[in-house]
Amino acid sequence: MRMILVGPPGAGKGTQAAELIDRLRIQHLSTGDMLRAAVAQGTALGKQADGHMRSGGLVPDDLVIPIVIERIKEPDCQNGFILDGFPRTQPQAEALDRALDAAGVTLDAVVLIEVPDDLIVERITGRRMDPQTKIIYHLRFNPPPAEIADRLEHRKDDTEEACRARLGKYHSETAPIIPYYEARGLLRRIDGVGAPKDITVRTFQALGLA
């Protein structure tokens, strides 16, 4: 199965991706990992991307998309993949579709995990990390043991201001791809509120895996 995973920051995409990978035995592809691999391998595309990355700039779509296509043509993606973190905009989605068509690759589904903004803010602002173990707790949903509470850290990107800025960017830039994929009959909407195991059941059901 070949799919794209979409949802706001803090929606639980990583958790559900792990469940899908375990169930389907497919590859989890993130653009960051693919770019770093292309650079490390010294491919022609990787060398071009490296120049942008070293200067602190964004790697342009006309480089990212060929790197994505190059990756999904590799043997370990023949059984399928989850593309996570790309596309982020409608122009990227349209360009990716053209490249996939040219490569003879067909998407099976675009999985959208939906969570209200206020709950996203509560999830993210309540996170605390143990600097020693790197375990992430949540003050409400997964409280830390009392004996380590004093050493936990609140990451600067987990503040309400930072969270709402990321949500704003998601709604303005990424959300427009939702009606785009819905019109193509690929979108699978998942209610992302509740226990992770319940969300997994809904995801499997939406994909015909239950």
Among all residues, which ones are annotated catalytic?
Answer: 13, 88, 127, 155, 166
Residues in CB range of 35: below 8 A, 6 or more apart:
46, 49, 53, 59, 64, 67
Among candidate residues 96, 32, 107, the one with its CA nearest the CA of residue 66: 96
Distance CA 24, CA 85 (A): 19
Question: What count of other Cβ atoms lies within 10 Å of the Cβ of residue 93?
Answer: 22
CA atoms 199, 203, 208, 210: torsion sign: negative
Q: Which two tokens stand for residue 11?
A: 């929606």
Phi (first) and psi of residue 16, to 5 degrees: -70, -35
Asked if 188 and 160 count as a contact pair (C-beta separation under 8 A), the reply is: no
